[in-house]
Chains A and B, each alone.
Chain A
């Protein structure tokens, strides 16, 4: 379950990945592109088969529940491990820049185990950092420690910094390294100011719109709603339609809970 959440999170941070590549020759381009297309179609088929199975199991579970019998567990996601191997094989078959789309496609899959994801990231960070496409994984950097583990994140960051030429990835790493300070230190503090300046410089060099957006959002929020800032008042109505204000609680410690029961 935790792994499911992890990979769902991975999909969210990665966003849509480019499916096409620009290989060296016309013949290779055609072969690599059609292989990618074929594997992406297989991915869709695996997903559809899983969905059909879940629907079938759902019906069985409803029957079991109605009869007071135990409800069998259902798979939370398709098993993409076999397909992952095929993407990896294709990445070996079409080396160099051509391999990158196959490796990136793996991160659009859920249900790939941690060992395989390490293997793919190793390949990308050891051999393909010259490819600008690798920056599509940039959004994963702030979560790499949670998605894989702390040791791997440390090693990955070190490799990217040693390579030193992928400005977008360097920008994401600067963001990842300083995010904790930016989120936890008062926006008026020296630590916050220094971290902000450091990341701003890296973001400017990175030329990555997603990173720029994330950075601007974080800074904007922290400078308005960060620790140490004065919160705006709220003048609204309660669930019975009676008007009240947050400032009615002046002098009290307020635990303001944004909640929902959906």
Chain B
């Protein structure tokens, strides 16, 4: 998944597109190692940092990882699921329509 996401960020760097993560690793150190090792350039929310009442993944009813949600410019949900290929198709068609 990481190489595919890196390629999307590269391909759509001049488009109105953003890849945003919600990281659920047990420790920050582990998440940061993954970012370095896999050269991830995009920003991620911490799923449940200290002091935050609930985990973002719980609030969003995420039960499996990875889960991808594709949102249009108005934050309308256009795709939600586990299929990176399908999510990419939806994002591509949204960008083409812009």
Contact = CB atoms under 8 A, between A and B. Distances in A.
A260 B70 contact: no
Nearest to A187: B77
Contact of A253 (B16, B32, B44, B49): B16
Contact of A261 (B17, B30, B62): B30
Interface in A219-252: 220-221, 224-234, 236-239, 241, 244, 246-247, 249-252
Given A229-B77, A231-B71, A237-B45, A255 B65 contact: no
B47 to A, nearest CB: 8
B46 A256 contact: no
Contacts of A261: 25, 30-31, 33-34
A257 interface: yes
A24 interface: no
Given A229-B76, A247-B75, A261-B31, A255 B46 contact: no
A246 B75 contact: yes
B91 A253 contact: yes
A116 B12 CA distance: 50
Interface string A210-226: 00000001001100111
Interface of A: 217, 220-221, 224-234, 236-239, 241, 244, 246-247, 249-262
Given A227-B80, A241-B49, 8 more contacts: A220-B61, A238-B44, A239-B31, A250-B73, A252-B18, A253-B17, A256-B71, A258-B56
